[in-house]
Structure 1
Amino acid sequence: MVIIQKSDLDSFTAHLNSIHDAIKFTIEHELNNRIAMLDTLITRAPNASLDTELQQRSLSICGYTKWAWNTPHSKKVSPKPKRRTDNPPKGHITLPYVQGVSEAINRTIRQAGMTVHSKPANIIRSMLVSPKDKPQKLERTGSIYQIKCGDCPSTYVGQSERALSKRISEHKRESSPVGAHMKSHKHSFDPKEVHILDTEQRWYQRGVKESIYIATNNPDPNQDRGRHRLPKTYGRLLESHRSISQDRSRVSSTANVYQQSQQLKKRTRMSHENV
């Protein structure tokens, strides 16, 4: 609700509607010096003061009892706090909600004595703000990345606040774990094959993500486990993640073996028919 000179109303509305194409405002004018706002009737008095009528709406929706209105200045007796019989939580953690994933993670965290709060991953801002053109991979900043050796299964996980191309060039030095691996084994890697695992501009959160990816992938050349020391709670989550990944891998392998056996039977049957 806005109180404004009538002569400025049209220009002000035009200004609001020019900010973004996806957001358009409509106007509702006062009628007989009255206008409703959020279930509250607002009346403009002759002396320019504002009167509100909220009591009836509060009685019907909010559930206030009559004594709350009839005796507003009487001393209220606060109820005695209930004794808590359960153990207080060890801490609180807020995670973005992802359907089908958050439920299992939340159960594991609660078993460790933590209280979990979920927040939506998609907000109005992310839906309304027009995204910028995506930068080239090697020009991205705030990246958690993975380098794969071109001659062996070894991998390296790191993070960088700067452009990824500058960080990759530093890994060619012998002082880098990647450079030392390449020199000692006479291996090489292609900077274009560097894989971005995640993007995080915030310094602390980026360090946490780097430590999680190191603990999950267990890369060989890494000389440390990241700059952030993960709490023990993460151990159970990572173990559960590995178990799920291994189960999916076994299911995929079983399906491949089954398909190969069916193809072999088909070829054998066809050869017998030709004979």
Structure 2
Amino acid sequence: MTAAPTSLKMWVRYVHDIFVVMKKEVEFFLNILNGKNKAIQFEMEGEVDGRLPFLDVMVTIVGNCLTTGVYKKGHTHRQATLLDYDNCHLIAQKRSVVKTLWLRAEKVFPTVENIMEEKNHLRKVIKDIGYPRAVVTRWTSRQENNAEGGRFPSTNKITVSYIKGPSEVTFRLLKKHGVSVEHKSMNTLHGILTKVKDKETEGDQVGIVYGIECRDCDAHYVGDTGKKLTTRVLEHRRAVGRKDKSSAIFRHCDDRQHEMDWQNAGVRYKAGGKGARLFLEAWASDHKSINRCVTLNALYEGLRERVEKRTL
């Protein structure tokens, strides 16, 4: 600030907004700042009737002192910028709207009278956008309890996706154990617009348990592979074409003169690990399967029967 023509009484900066108090040669000082870098050019707004807004604070000259208050662009504008109570957001986020406005009033206004006047104004604004009176009353009572040291300290913090209903229950349960829960949206604009890859088709899936039906009977083949479905089906067709006797599909087609339904081969299950695929292969196999697979535990056999009865 050595380039300033006169001594600065005050210099407050927040990102690209600067609040300056100086006696004279303001325009000259502005030209000095704009001459430092052509890519960074400042614009100036001066006081009007001893008042000047800075961010959301209205600075007013009273005698030889500066007082602060909340800068209000208008009742309608303020309603439009606040979170509507009917929106699908966590109730804690809606309560934080009241909390933020209350705390700002207490920090910005210099006297108790100004604070109470602002809070009365906030009650009217909050009521107009659908907030019930209980939300304000609850925050006021909690604020008093916290001042007395009755707040339970949060030692841990987790972030989860917000689902209306279960999220509220989870929030209350974890709060009792000192765990603070923060919520995020499941669907974001970034996530929607950055999906540049085409949707994966069934034939391109890897790490799968697949099934191939016989066209001429009820038999079917169940297998697992870490390759693509189309690649594995092509290998089966080539094994049948070269009459590979180690292929269970070829033996079935050769013994009964049947043909497999290659076009409708599909994915039954998807699993990344080999052990999981072997289990799912055994789960999907039955007395009509022509494939070899591991033996399914008797406990799982009973469970599979119950699942099949429910799906019928």
- Which structure is higher in RCO with an 8 Å CA cutoff and minimum separation 6? 1
TM-score in terms of structure 2 length = 0.37
- Bigger-Rg structure (1/2): 2
